[in-house]
Structure 1
Amino acid sequence: MNNHEIDYKLYGDDMQFVEVELDPHETVVAEAGSLMMMEDGISMETIFGDGSGGNGGLMGKLFSAGKRMLTGESLFMTTFTNVGSGKRHVSFASPYPGKIIPMDLSELNGKIICQKDAFLAAAKGVSVGIEFQRKIGTGFFGGEGFIMQKLEGDGLAFIHAGGTIHKKELQPGEVLRVDTGCLVAMTAGVDYNIEFVKGVKTALFGGEGLFFATLRGPGSVWIQSLPFSRLASRVFAAMPQTGGAKDEGSLARGLFNILDGD
């Protein structure tokens, strides 16, 4: 086994965090900014790339960091190593409401393809890279862009997604069509393509976009019920105009001050 063997425990329901238990000298790698808390005796270090150990010197590390930029992630990742003599714990939290999905890559043929901002943390040795979509149409209209993340190795990795997560097993030749933004992850054997919504009226007035993802088995796929982009668009649509918000806020504060006796 090339990856560190870590134990973990999930807490919460819709606003989850994962607590990782580290034995002495064990290390977990996480996205910069995902730390929630850690116990004394854990050493934290910022690194280029994913820390998988196969980057081949300075140029390799720079190339690995550059690949992460293509997926919209930070140039840096953070490692957390237990430098004490007993077990220590470090916790990582999701950046928005949803679920954290633990994935044992040794049980998933050593590779998972996921949306570009799904990765949260992993055992040291897991490689976090990029997966180019073979089909140009998939890249331009796939909702997640031309590039997706790939996680490779034989250890534990944690990804997060919005809302409720549903795992579906696809049989050979079985086809599943989903909204492009709702696809979280899939195993390497799943064929992923983009289809145009048939029917002019459906495409223009259906409210579901012009394209959907077509997934063909065999393999496993993970679907999220609330993509962050959908949540953000609803919040943005509900926000008042800048001028109105300022006037309404000023009026409300003035009324509050009057009622409060100021």
Structure 2
Amino acid sequence: MNNHEIDYKLFGDDMQFVEVELDPYETVVAEAGALMMMEDDIKMETIFGDGSNSRGGGGIMGKLMGAGKRLVTGESLFMTTFTNEGKGKRHVYFASPYPGKIIPMDLSTLNGKIICQKDAFLAAAKGVSVGVEFQRKLGTGFFGGEGFIMQKLEGDGMAFIHAGGTIHERRLHPGERLRIDTGCLVAMTSDVDYDIEAVGGVKTALFGGEGIFFATLRGPGTVWVQSLPFSRLASRVFAAAPISQGGGGKSTGEGGIGGLFDLFNK
């Protein structure tokens, strides 16, 4: 096993945090700002990139390239490592930045790789590589909700990602197709075929409030779907804020241009 082997426990329901148990000299890598609390004898250190040795070598240029790739996925330029330097087991705790769920991923059971939305990564065992996944299809890149760049996690250890609302894990059989709102896709295994599909009918596309495109996923493979994307939550909060504070004062819908007609109801 190339990655550190860590144990964990999840706490909470809609505002979750994860407890990671570290044996002596085991290390977990986390997104900057994800720390909730930690016990004695744990050393915290800020590093460039993800601390893995799988990309770009160990020189300064390799570290800068790895950190730069993380930057284009929407993550911080820095990550933080937490190493147990004591003689017994110690614990460190990480919390998600908004209401939702934390999803534990054992990469050794997922063919060593998952692809997820750009800001989903929370923490992982040291050695897990956090990189970028470029969408090869132009249509998917422009209209797929996540753009050309998605995040990929590679290795054989534990990784933790987070998403909004309730998380549904769906296993697709060979040839089975699933259409998902582009913002609701959280993660998928590398064997899933990812594309986009236009919503049928001009009236539905323009006034249905669901946007113009679906994400289409074809099996075999496993996908994770979130019920409440953070962008949807943020738009609702912004729309409900008083106009004097910069909000719209009234919700204008999730997608399409149908929400424009709410202007006449103010």
Class of the TM-score when normalised by the shorter of the 2 chains: over 0.9
Distance (whole Å) between structure 1 residues aligned to residue 197 and residue 84 of structure 2: 48
Is 1:136 aligned with 2:138? Answer: yes
Corresponding residue for 1:186?
188
Is 1:18 aligned with 2:18? Answer: yes
User: How far has the Cα of 1:242 moved from its partner?
Assistant: 1.3
User: How far has the Cα of 1:244 moved from its partner?
Assistant: 9.8
User: How far has the Cα of 1:36 moved from its partner?
Assistant: 0.2
Structure 1 unaligned residues grouped into runs of 5+: 246-262
Distance (whole Å) between structure 2 residues aligned to residue 89 and residue 24 of structure 1: 11
Is 1:125 aligned with 2:127? Answer: yes
TM superposition outliers: structure 1 runs of 4+ over 3 Å: none
Relative distance call for 1:131 and 1:85 in structure 2 (3 A) is: same
Relative distance call for 1:235 and 1:43 in structure 2 (3 A) is: same
User: How far has the Cα of 1:144 moved from its partner?
Assistant: 1.1
The 10-residue stretch of structure 1 (120-129 or 236-245) with the greater mean CA deviation from structure 2: 236-245
- 1:56-95 CA deviation, whole Å, 9 max, x = no partner? 1110000000001110111100000000111000000010
User: How far has the Cα of 1:198 moved from its partner?
Assistant: 1.3
User: How far has the Cα of 1:243 moved from its partner?
Assistant: 6.7
After TM superposition, list the pairs within 5 Å mapping 1:250-261 onto structure 2. none
Structure 2 unaligned residues grouped into runs of 5+: 248-266
Q: Structure 1 length as normaliser, TM-score?
A: 0.92
Distance (whole Å) between structure 2 residues aligned to residue 142 and residue 46 of structure 1: 33
- 1:185-213 CA deviation, whole Å, 9 max, x = no partner? 00000000011111000001100000110
Distance (whole Å) between structure 1 residues aligned to residue 71 and residue 36 of structure 2: 24
Provide the secondary structure at the position in 1 that maps to 2:10: strand
Distance (whole Å) between structure 2 residues aligned to residue 158 and residue 195 of structure 1: 30
Is 1:66 aligned with 2:82? Answer: no
Relative distance call for 1:10 and 1:201 in structure 2 (3 A) is: same
Distance (whole Å) between structure 2 residues aligned to residue 136 and residue 179 of structure 1: 18
Corresponding residue for 2:200?
198
Provide the secondary structure at the position in 1 that maps to 2:140: helix
Corresponding residue for 1:46?
46
- 1:39-69 CA deviation, whole Å, 9 max, x = no partner? 0100000000110123411100000000011
Letter in 1 for 2:69: K
Distance (whole Å) between structure 1 residues aligned to residue 46 and residue 165 of structure 2: 30
Distance (whole Å) between structure 2 residues aligned to residue 119 and residue 34 of structure 1: 10
The 10-residue stretch of structure 1 (17-26 or 138-147) with the greater mean CA deviation from structure 2: 138-147
Letter in 1 for 2:97: P
Letter in 1 for 2:211: G
Provide the secondary structure at the position in 1 that maps to 2:223: strand
Greater Rg, structure 1 or structure 2? 1
Distance (whole Å) between structure 1 residues aligned to residue 158 and residue 222 of structure 2: 17
Provide the secondary structure at the position in 2 that maps to 1:138: helix
- 1:145-191 CA deviation, whole Å, 9 max, x = no partner? 11000000000000000000000000000000000000000000000
Is 1:35 aligned with 2:35? Answer: yes
Tell me how large the CA RMSD over aligned residues is. 1.1
Corresponding residue for 1:249?
none
Corresponding residue for 2:147?
145
Distance (whole Å) between structure 2 residues aligned to residue 194 and residue 84 of structure 1: 50
Provide the secondary structure at the position in 2 that maps to 1:223: strand
Letter in 1 for 2:52: S
Aligned residues: 245
Provide the secondary structure at the position in 1 that maps to 2:43: strand
Corresponding residue for 1:220?
222
Letter in 1 for 2:49: G
Distance (whole Å) between structure 2 residues aligned to residue 165 and residue 243 of structure 1: 32
Q: Structure 2 length as normaliser, TM-score?
A: 0.91
Distance (whole Å) between structure 1 residues aligned to residue 154 and residue 180 of structure 2: 25
